[in-house]
Amino acid sequence: MRRVVGVTALLAAVPVLCLALMAAGGAAEPVAAVLAIGACVLASAAVAALWQRDVLRLKAILRAPAAPAAGRWPAIPAVGRIASDIQRLSRGLAARAAETDRARRASEAIIQRLPDPLLLLRADGAASRSNAAAQAAFGGEMAAVLRHPGLRGAIDRAFASGLAQTADVVLAVPVPREVQATVIPLDPWLPDGTAALLVLSDRSRERAVERTRSDFVTNASHELRTPLASLMGFIETLQGPAADDVPAQQRFLGIMAEQAGRMHRLIDDLLSLSRVELNEHLPPADKVDVVDLARRVAAGFEPRLAERRVRLVLDLHDDVAPLVGDGDQVAQVLTNLIDNAVKYGGDGHDVRLFVGAAEGARWPARAGVLIAVEDQGPGIARVHLPRLTERFYRVDKARSRGAGGTGLGLAIVKHIVNRHRGQLAIDSVEGQGSTFSVWLPAEAENTATIAR
C-alpha cells in the first residue's frame, strides 16, 4: 500500500502543485482547482494501483515463466511486452537446457558403455569420475593405480605438453595386469573441471598370448626333444636290428608307450597352463562347494591310491562357506596337489587332505577356505622352496620324470590361485614330509567405486 501511495504522490505532485499555484494567483477558480486536484489525485492513484498490480504480475511471470499466464497478464502495454519477451526468452533457455541435458546424458551413456576403463582427471591428476569398466577392473584401488610412476609420468607429460601421451605399464593392484595407458588433455576443460581423459586398455590377454606362444615353442622344443629322440631311436631299432626280435620289440614298445604318455601329459599341462594364464586377470564369479568337490576329486584317486598303497585321509569341514571361484580350476588345484603327494610321498604312506576355515595370522582376516595337502615323503630342501612354482623346475629331475611329472603342476596351481586372488604356501622339512596350503577367498573382493 505504501508503494501505491508513493507512486500516487510522485505522479500527482506536479499537476497538484501547478493547480494550487494557479488557484492562489487567481488564474483558476478555487472550486475548479480543488476539483481538478482531486481528479489528478484519483487518476494518479488508479495508475499507481494498476502499475503496482502489473509489476507484481511481472514478478510472478519471472518466477514461473513457463506457467500459463491467463488471467494475470499485465494490463499496461509496455509491461505486457516485457512479460512477453521474458516468456519467449524462457522458452528458448528451457529448450537449450533440455538439449544440453540430452547431450550430457548421451555422453555419459557413451562413457559408461566404453569397453575400456576410462577415468576423467582433474588438473591435479586425481580422478573425478570413472566408467563402469574402470570400476569393475580397479574398484577401490583407483587411487593406487593413479600413483603408479609410469602412469603418473604420462599424466604429467600430457598436462605439460598439451598433447596425448601413451605409456605401457604393469599394474600390481588389484591384480597384476599389463595396461596401455593413453592420457588425452582437454582444451578447453569440461564445465565440471575435467582437464584430461585417461584410457586404460588392458593388454594382459594379448601379452599372455604372445608369451604363451614363445614359451610353448621354447619349452616344448626343450622338454619334448628327449622323448621324441627316444621314440625315433626305438623306431629305427625296431625297423632294423630288432625287426625279428620279439622280446626286444615288447620291451621297446613298452618304453615307447611310456615316452608317448609323457609327451601327452606334457602337452596337456602346457595347454592347461596357457588357458589359466589367458584368464588370470579376470576373477571368477561362480559359487563352488569346495567340500563336495574335494570328496569327488578324492574318489577319483582310489585306483591310484590302491596301486601305490597310499591311504588318503580326509579332514573335511562341512561348515565352510562356499567359494567364489571356478569349479573346474579348483578341482585342478586339488588334483595337482593330491597327485604330487601320491607321486612323491612314497608308497605305503598316508596323505592328508584338509578343507576348512583358515585360522591364524598367516592368512587374510576376511572369510576364506583353506585347502591343505600333507604328505609323509622325504621333504624338500629349503633352498628349493621359492622356485617350486616355476615352470619345469624339478628338485630331482630323474625322480620327477620317473614318477611321470612334467614340472608344470605347481605352476598351474600358482596361476589358478592368483586368478582366485588367493595365497599359496609351501612348508617342508627334509625327512619329515611336505604341506602345500592354498587359501581362497569365500567372497568376492570389494569393488567400491569412486564417488561420482
pLDDT in tens, 402-423: 554 667 888 889 989 988 889 9
How would residue 436 be classed by pLDDT, with cut points 50, 70 and 90?
very high
Pick the CATH number of 210-280 from 1.20.140.10, 1.10.3720.10, 2.60.40.10, 1.10.287.130: 1.10.287.130
Residues 5-19, buried b or exposed e (16+ Cβ, 10 A)? Answer: eebbeebbeebbebb
273 within 8 A of 411, measured Cβ to Cβ: yes
CATH 1.10.287.130 range(s) for the chain read 210-280
CATH 3.30.70.20 fits 114-202, yes or no: no
**Average model confidence (pLDDT) across the chain:** 81
The whole-angstrom separation of Cα 159 and Cα 163 is: 8
CATH 3.30.450.20 range(s) for the chain read 114-202
pLDDT in tens, 141-171: 888 888 889 989 999 999 999 999 999 888 8
- Section 282-304 average pLDDT: 89
CATH 3.30.565.10 range(s) for the chain read 283-452
pLDDT of residue 396: 63
Could you tell me whether strands 423-429 and 127-130 are parallel, antiparallel, or unpaired per DSSP bridges? unpaired
93 within 8 A of 66, measured Cβ to Cβ: no
pLDDT in tens, 93-125: 888 888 878 877 887 888 888 888 899 999 888
Would the pLDDT of 451 be above 50?
no
pLDDT of residue 316: 93
pLDDT in tens, 180-212: 899 999 988 887 788 999 998 888 777 777 776
* Percent of the chain residues topping a pLDDT of 90: 17
pLDDT of residue 452: 33
How would residue 293 be classed by pLDDT, with cut points 50, 70 and 90?
very high
CA 68 centroid distance within chain: 50
Pick the CATH number of 283-452 from 1.10.287.130, 3.40.640.10, 3.30.565.10, 3.90.45.10: 3.30.565.10
List, in sequence order, every residue forming a beta bridge with 371; answer none if it has no partner: 355, 438
Would the pLDDT of 401 be above 70?
no
How would residue 446 be classed by pLDDT, with cut points 50, 70 and 90?
very low
Residue 30 or residue 449, greater confidence: 30
Q: Which of 267, 263, 400, 272 is nearest to 331 (CA)?
A: 272
pLDDT of residue 221: 67
379 within 8 A of 431, measured Cβ to Cβ: yes
pTM over cut 0.75? no
pLDDT of residue 448: 36
pLDDT of residue 440: 92
Q: What is the DSSP string of 178-189?
A: EEEEEEEE-SSP
DSSP 8-state code for residue 190? P
